[in-house]
Chain A
Amino acid sequence: MRIALFVTCLADTMFPEAAKATVRLLERLGHEVVFPQDQTCCGQMHINTGYPDDALRLVRRHVRAFAPYDVVVAPSGSCVGSVRHQHAMVARGAGDERLASRAEEVARRTYELSELLVDVLGVTDVGAFYTHRVTYQPTCHSLRMIRVGDKPLRLLRQVRGLDLVELPQAEQCCGFGGTFAVKNADTSTAMLADKMRHVLSTRADVCTAGDASCLMHIGGGLSRLRVGVRTVHLAEILASTEPTGDPAERARTGGVTA
């Protein structure tokens, strides 16, 4: 299948390993990945901070960039949520009905990674190998906005070598919320502290999720505490394979070094 990668501006700029892993994983499963070069940002930050007029040009750009593709995947529940639930609304708010219906078209063909794997490609065992104790944070927009349900967990359960531990009060927000984390930094930090307490209680050495943004938040907090627990995007775990003789490969899977 030919799949267009909607990389998201955050993964493109700050967390390219999650995006590279998405490419490697899909190619390993026998699919062709293309990268529409004109994509930049979906505009979610603008919409959620109260600037839909500024977001309009980004919605238009996103729709133009992805209109030619039958299947679009993003390693982010939040950005897929914005495409599905906000793009047409922003277009309609600006009185552009044509853009709204084109945005709806693109949204119908846009999937979060675990949705693409389980619902479209019909796989739960992606042949991954990852020898770590891992806990999964469902992330609010994956859980409640696009409702990926237990798909990420079904994928993780099939990963060989992986010790999956349940995260207490997993459904509670980590406190990121985009500009919320700076506008209401104190409240956000209080939420993060509780999330980290639960992550640490699992004694996992890796906290994973389907959103680089939430992981940036949780990871930034864990790093500050120097507790030695990492955040790793779901795509990176699913892309990991049994170590070969190649030392670079071993490093990536955590088979040898963490």
Chain B
Amino acid sequence: MSEIFLGMPATAPRGVGNLRGDEPFPVAARRSLADAQLRRNLGHATATIRAKSAAVIDEVPDWQELREAGRAIKTDVMARLPELLAQLEVAVTAAGGTVHWAADAVEANRIVTDLVRATGSDRVMKVKSMATQEIGLNEALEAAGIEAVETDLAELIVQLGRDKPSHILVPAIHRNRAEIREIFLREMPGVDPALTDEPAILAAAARRHLRRTFLSTRVAVSGANFAVAETGTLAVVESEGNGRMCLTLPDTLITVMGIEKLVPTWADLEVFLQLLPRASTGERMNPYTSMWTGVTPGDGPQEFHLVLLDNGRSAVLADEVGRQALHCIRCSACLNVCPVYERTGGHAYGSVYPGPIGAVLSPQLTGVEDNASLPYASSLCGACFDACPVMIDIPSILVHLRAQHTAAYRSDHRLPSAEAVTMAAAAYTMDHRPLYEAAQRAARASRFVGRRGGGLPPPLSGWTIGRDLPQPPPQTFREWWAQR
């Protein structure tokens, strides 16, 4: 394969998919924060998953070594991604599958739509997949007259409620069981009107509803947790068995996979299949791990298509600091430990990738200016870095993207922002001792705004919505030191 430099890789296109929100994070967050039910649901759910996950991680004596191994494997994959992808294509093709390359969401949606049309089916069943949420596949299929049925329980709740997912692993985390019961009663055809909000009863209702779909739908669409370049094997891990149904029952299986999901060899799965369930659901092992390699005559789908999706990933790969975001295995541990996510929920992030990983992944996939508020949606507390099973240094990427944003603003505007002017002035002042000392004396004048700081202009007024200002001391430390 010859390589020609075609310029910087493209970011994910606008107008398609679900990587961009309608409003900046602080605005959306303000609304979520006021929703007391949402706060309770999230607080309870994240605390429960955190405790469960911490307990099973504690059982693994070599957890840190496993994390290191996960990081090392993913670093290697990113370093030779083109070669490994080509190897995967050869292996999948040799096993009877067909590989399609999609540069972006538009191409991927078109490829999948055409493939479904070719089968003559007007319905597909889906395994929970972040990649297809990212590209807005359900919307694209609907526009083509094809119904997409989500079979993961939480995705089904979201779909029936005409809602949006708010968590990578548990997309209906913002709903409690009473709300889920209401959605089922309202939206599920033929549901028992005596439905209670017992989890087992709700799950049984979904089961009955989905069973008809499993047995009558001839095409399935899935994502993939891993693809083994060496063997051409795809893997999906899940808890409910709906995935196993979708991956084995239909005639045609179409898998949409981000190009970063690769591992080089079969043996590498050993590391990730230990890391993922413990970090993700807090289970020692996920209940279902389905693996398939191309097509097996007389067993399972007889037609298999793999759609390899870029949609901005090559642009992420081009960034030396940011590329480690591609190591993500979508476990959502960073969401569960994030104090910001726990209070705002996922919708505030606008993108299908919420929480800390979303705050570094979404702006990179779309270009930072299309998600400029997300890198700032973090107090840089570092809990995400500690929780990440593949050791993605999320705080450092956030800081890196903030610098990218200020640089982009500078080159896009004739005048610097008020913040940039303030920052430059502060740096200049602090780099000149007499000015710095004069500024310290001036800070004392803030005594006049009073402890509650009512007279402060924005953005400083944000401080005083819930906090008093500290009273400046009569003497700075250096004044005291000079008089000693």
Is A134 an interface position by the 8 A CB rule? no
CB pair B376 A183 closer than 8 Å: yes
CB pair B466 A189 closer than 8 Å: yes
Cβ proximity bits A213-230 to B, threshold 8 Å, 1 near / 0 not? 000110111011000000
Chain A interface bracket (under 10, 10 to 19, 20 to 34, 35 or more): 35 or more
B344 contacts across to A, CB distance below 8 A: 187
Q: What residue in chain A is nearest B402 (Cβ atoms)?
A: A50
CB pair A7 B436 closer than 8 Å: no
CB pair B468 A220 closer than 8 Å: yes
Cβ proximity bits B415-436 to A, threshold 8 Å, 1 near / 0 not? 0000110011011101101001
Q: What residue in chain B is nearest A174 (Cβ atoms)?
A: B379
A191 contacts across to B, CB distance below 8 A: 339-340, 343, 379
Is B405 an interface position by the 8 A CB rule? yes
CB pair B427 A55 closer than 8 Å: yes
Is B472 an interface position by the 8 A CB rule? yes
CB pair A140 B382 closer than 8 Å: yes
CB pair A183 B459 closer than 8 Å: yes
A-facing residues in B425-484 (Cβ within 8 Å): 426-428, 430-431, 433, 436, 440, 443, 451-452, 459-460, 462-463, 465-470, 472-473, 475-478, 480-481
Is A84 an interface position by the 8 A CB rule? no
Secondary structure of the B contact surface, majority rule:
helix
CB pair B468 A223 closer than 8 Å: yes
Determine how close the nearest CB of chain A comes to the CB of B399; give it in whole angstroms: 6
A172, A182, A221: the one contacting B459 at CB < 8 Å is: A182
CB pair B381 A43 closer than 8 Å: no
Q: What residue in chain B is nearest A54 (Cβ atoms)?
A: B427
Is B29 an interface position by the 8 A CB rule? yes
B468 contacts across to A, CB distance below 8 A: 220-221, 223-224
CB pair A141 B382 closer than 8 Å: yes
CB pair B477 A40 closer than 8 Å: no
B-facing residues in A139-160 (Cβ within 8 Å): 140-141, 143-145
CB pair B470 A216 closer than 8 Å: yes
Q: What residue in chain B is nearest A10 (Cβ atoms)?
A: B470
CB pair A144 B475 closer than 8 Å: no
CB pair A12 B478 closer than 8 Å: yes
B404 contacts across to A, CB distance below 8 A: 50
A184 contacts across to B, CB distance below 8 A: 25-26, 29, 340, 376-377
Is B211 an interface position by the 8 A CB rule? no
CB pair A140 B381 closer than 8 Å: yes
B29 contacts across to A, CB distance below 8 A: 184, 186-187
CB pair B476 A12 closer than 8 Å: yes
CB pair A16 B423 closer than 8 Å: no
Interface centre among A141, A144, A193 (most CB of B within 10 A): A144
Report the tally of A-B residue pairs with Cβ distances under 8 A.
Answer: 188
CB pair A14 B470 closer than 8 Å: yes
Determine how close the nearest CB of chain B comes to the CB of A258; give it in whole angstroms: 17
Cβ proximity bits B354-394 to A, threshold 8 Å, 1 near / 0 not? 00000000000000000000011111111101100000000
CB pair B423 A20 closer than 8 Å: no
CB pair A185 B463 closer than 8 Å: yes
Is A243 an interface position by the 8 A CB rule? no
Complex Cα–Cα for A9 and B251 (A): 67
Complex Cα–Cα for A190 and B383 (A): 17
CB pair B473 A17 closer than 8 Å: yes
Q: What residue in chain B is nearest A47 (Cβ atoms)?
A: B399
A252 contacts across to B, CB distance below 8 A: none
CB pair A183 B26 closer than 8 Å: yes
Given contacts A7-B477, A186-B26, A216-B470, contact A51 B379 (CB under 8 A): no
Is B93 an interface position by the 8 A CB rule? no
Given contacts A49-B402, A50-B402, A187-B33, contact A43 B25 (CB under 8 A): no
Q: What residue in chain A is nearest B453 (Cβ atoms)?
A: A220
A-facing residues in B3-35 (Cβ within 8 Å): 25-26, 29-30, 33
A55 contacts across to B, CB distance below 8 A: 427
A86 contacts across to B, CB distance below 8 A: 399
A46 contacts across to B, CB distance below 8 A: 423, 426-427
CB pair B383 A223 closer than 8 Å: no
Is B55 an interface position by the 8 A CB rule? no
Given contacts A14-B473, A20-B477, A50-B405, contact A144 B385 (CB under 8 A): yes
B-facing residues in A106-142 (Cβ within 8 Å): 140-141
Complex Cα–Cα for A19 and B473 (A): 13
Is A4 an interface position by the 8 A CB rule? no
CB pair A223 B451 closer than 8 Å: yes
Complex Cα–Cα for A217 and B468 (A): 9
Is A173 an interface position by the 8 A CB rule? yes
Is A246 an interface position by the 8 A CB rule? no
B430, B460, B466, B473: the one contacting A40 at CB < 8 Å is: B430
CB pair A144 B423 closer than 8 Å: no
Known: A54-B427, A140-B382, A193-B466. 13 other contacts (CB 8 A): A9-B436, A46-B426, A143-B382, A144-B382, A171-B383, A172-B339, A173-B381, A173-B383, A183-B462, A186-B33, A187-B344, A217-B467, A223-B451
List, sorted by A's number, 6 A–B pairs whose CB atoms are closer than 8 Å.
Answer: A12-B476, A49-B419, A52-B403, A140-B381, A140-B382, A220-B468
